[in-house]
Amino acid sequence: MQLRYNFRLYPTAGQRQSLAQAFGCARVVFNDALAARQQAYQDGRLVTDAELSKQLTESKKTPERAWLGGVSAVVLQQALADLNTAYRNFFGSLTGTRKGPKIAAPRFRSRRDNRQAIRFTRNARFAVTAGEKLRLPKIGDVTVAWSRRLPSDPSSVTVVKDAAGRYFASFVVEVETPPLPDVDAEVGIDLGLTSFAVLSDGRVIDNPRLFRRAERKLRKAQQALSRKQKGSSNRGKARIRVARAHAKVADQRRDFAHKLSTTIVRDNQAVYVEDLCVRGLARTRLAKSVHDVGWSMFTRLLEEKASRFGRYFDKIDRFFPSSQLCSVCGVIDGKKPLSVRSWTCRCGVTHDRDINAARNVLAAGQVERLNACGVRVSPGLVPAPRREAGTRRERQTVLDGVPVQ
């Protein structure tokens, strides 16, 4: 399994200038190749990757592009590879062979983009020196803030400059992760805004509201930016302050999601969550809170870590009435407004809305995990096709401990 290890870089002033030159050269090569492909499409012909590579070699011999020789040739070739990948994803999205949201056609890169990146492969002969620095061709030995050791020799490294002016090195390494020891616990998760998550065992994870807490500081920084004259150096400094404030919130949200997902995957053999339509919720009046909570990132990390450590993960149908169903008797009590946080079923049991929903998610996930013979599906296998889970009979048989026939 290939994983990425990210570390903070602290280049010197000269190295920052060399990196800026490399970013610019990679951007120009990408844009030239994109223009060539668009022109070829208009002319009704096809440009191959070999032709683009040959055009790059010839352009370095011209006075207009002679400065491309000042950076590593691997960086330029990887820019062409990025364009090829972008077109492959675009065409795969058009034909339906690529899953996920629709991908737009590649666009020209700008020097004003929030993120600049270059990639070095093993052909570039980058290395980690004996002094624990990252040696990059035609850039030098860059100081790295190592937080941990690399488990193996990296196959490539990507140097990234973000909107806040920070530099990072992203190493791609091959890792063999043994599965975690089996445990008996399974958990259903009900995601929300008042509480970030409520687990079927009764635990409640508070919503950190990271953006809301930093909103005043962000507003002040944005106001200071709007008062600066365009093109001035003070405006550039104010822009960096705004970017750093947003980067801090993003880092805190990512750290929170990583720690919580690791804890849940480590303590449970199977994890079940609702398949929320985040894009639809982000178009409502709750958009700011939905973006702040970061459901998509959290569920993605749960799925990735469950696959990595040999756990079972599944998403429950978003139309499953987890908040309407009694987790004890299986009776559907009807829709309830969000203001109703607890309710009493006709069987006499009083439910907390979120805990009851989490228990229903757990029961529905356990039903879907059963195969035709009533046996649990292993974590490494594809889950059984979704049936009409959620009927009263299926729910009650799972709660009673009897497999569905």
Catalytic residues: 190, 274, 354
Nearest to 357, CA basis, from 205, 220, 246, 199: 199
Q: 295-308 vs 233-267: helix axis angle to the nearest 10?
A: 50
For 54-166, list the strands marked E by DSSP: 116-121, 127-128, 133-136, 140-145, 156-161
CA distances from 344 to 134, 239, 368 (A): 62, 53, 27
Q: How many CA atoms lie within 13 A of 288 on its CB side?
A: 8
Contact 379, 180 (CB under 8 A): no
Nearest to 355, CA basis, from 315, 322, 330: 322
- Backbone dihedral region of 52: left (phi > 0), alpha (psi from -120 to 50 degrees) or beta? alpha
For 67-203, list the strands marked E by DSSP: 116-121, 127-128, 133-136, 140-145, 156-161, 167-174, 186-191, 195-199
| Residue 224: count of CB within 10 angstroms of its CB | 15
Spatial separation of the C-alpha atoms in residues 371 and 367, rounded to whole Å = 9
| Three-state DSSP class for residue 90 | helix
